Copies of this chain bind each other. A is one copy, B any other.
Amino acid sequence: MSARDWQDREGIRAHGIRERTVMAGKTYSGNYFEDFTIGRQIVHATPRTVTQGDIALYLALYGSRFAATSASTFARDLGYPQLPIDSLLAFHLVFGKTVPDISLNAVANLGYAGGRFGVPVYPGDTLTTTSTVIGLKPNSSGRNGNVYVRSVGVNQDGQMVLDYVRWVMVNRREAVSEVGESVIPPLPGAVAVEDLVVPYEPGAPYDERMQALAGSTHLWDDYEVGERIDHVDGMTIEESDHMLATRLYQNTAKVHFNQFAQNDTKIGRRLIYGGHIISLARALSFNGLANAQAVAAINAGSHANPTFAGDTIYAWSEVLDRMEVPGRADVGALRLRTVATKDLPCAGFPYRDEAGKYLPGVVLDLDYTVLMPRRAGA
């Protein structure tokens, strides 16, 4: 008798010995396709105050070594007023709040685009997220449809911290025969350099000392479009690691946490939150991109294959574009593709097969933009 049979039997028996009526409606079951209408705005639950504890946990989870998010002295020399949190930590916190309302009944996360980071986040700041439905594409099956939302995370002063578009396939509460009209929004491409927010003012000269503390002498000037970098190092993920991270982000997607329920699925495992892989890949990219002190935009991203506890994550990057930042001589932007793999070192830059299909070992294809100091007077 399977645990599940046993549980139902006990469930019924326990039920049988109780008289009281079971009330319903207090539990939150998330939104279904029918619940989304163009222009509907959703204020997501659970505002979150960021603390120094989050900074330490983020370090413990990914081992990031970028100096600007590791040391207040370096951050101030760079031009920040104080030590900011990693912008990807802000991403996870803003994103996590949207899960119960947007993707609890999702069949698939189809993609995100146009992610633009705003003001930096400091310990003590409180983040909230609001989403607006900008597109609806009912699928011909009548059983589900694609929902496009724009989500904006703000701090306690209402300043934009992160603004991005995401689309997911969501089930209907009840199947329909007439599926109705589609409204497909224009999807943003890569964030334009004019729209990037540089989160710090021009600071001290980025001299030999700063470069030594940062861990590399390779500045924006030294990278070429098309250049590819194998980040060499690998990091193995444990169940406890990704669950600690995803709970920290108050992300409630069941597939990450509930092994008992996953036992009844084809995969049979807990799935690791895709954002956990993004943060690991960013941390691994230090080896080759040590001066990429801030992530300014996430242009697009795809989780090519699922990851599970026990997988060892590797990463490589390609420089897609190198852009001057209007009005800033001290810093430039690099548009990067970072590809993460599992149990697959990246000396050969594994990516897609001849048919353009992601190789089975590829788990992340991230198109994003980083900020890197420029050589003075170059």
Contact = CB atoms under 8 A, between A and B. Distances in A.
Contacts of A234: 254, 257-258, 260-261
A172 interface: no
Interface string A107-150: 00000000000000001101010000000000000000000000
A226 to B, nearest CB: 5
B215 A233 contact: no
A1 interface: no
Nearest to A228: B22
A37 interface: no
Contact of A14 (B212, B260, B350): B350
Interface in A53-84: 53-57, 59-63, 65-67, 70-74, 83
A360 B215 CA distance: 39
A238 B241 CA distance: 10
How many copies of this chain sit in the oligomeric assembly?
A: 3
Nearest to A130: B212
A312 interface: yes
Nearest to A7: B344
Nearest to A75: B49
Contacts of A48: 70-71
Contact of A73 (B47, B57, B318, B359): B47
A241 B259 CA distance: 15
Interface stretch (A177-185, A186-194, A242-250, A295-303): A242-250
What are the 10 A-B residue pairs with the smallest beta carbon separation, nearest first? A53-B56, A11-B348, A45-B215, A63-B247, A260-B312, A47-B71, A51-B52, A240-B240, A53-B53, A14-B350
25 contacts: A7-B343, A7-B350, A15-B348, A17-B351, A22-B349, A26-B222, A27-B230, A28-B287, A45-B213, A46-B214, A46-B215, A47-B71, A47-B213, A52-B52, A53-B56, A56-B57, A56-B248, A57-B60, A60-B247, A63-B257, A71-B128, A100-B215, A128-B213, A234-B261, A260-B343
Given A3-B343, A17-B351, A46-B71, 17 more contacts: A6-B361, A7-B361, A11-B347, A28-B288, A45-B215, A46-B214, A47-B74, A49-B70, A53-B54, A53-B55, A54-B56, A60-B245, A61-B247, A65-B250, A239-B240, A240-B240, A240-B241
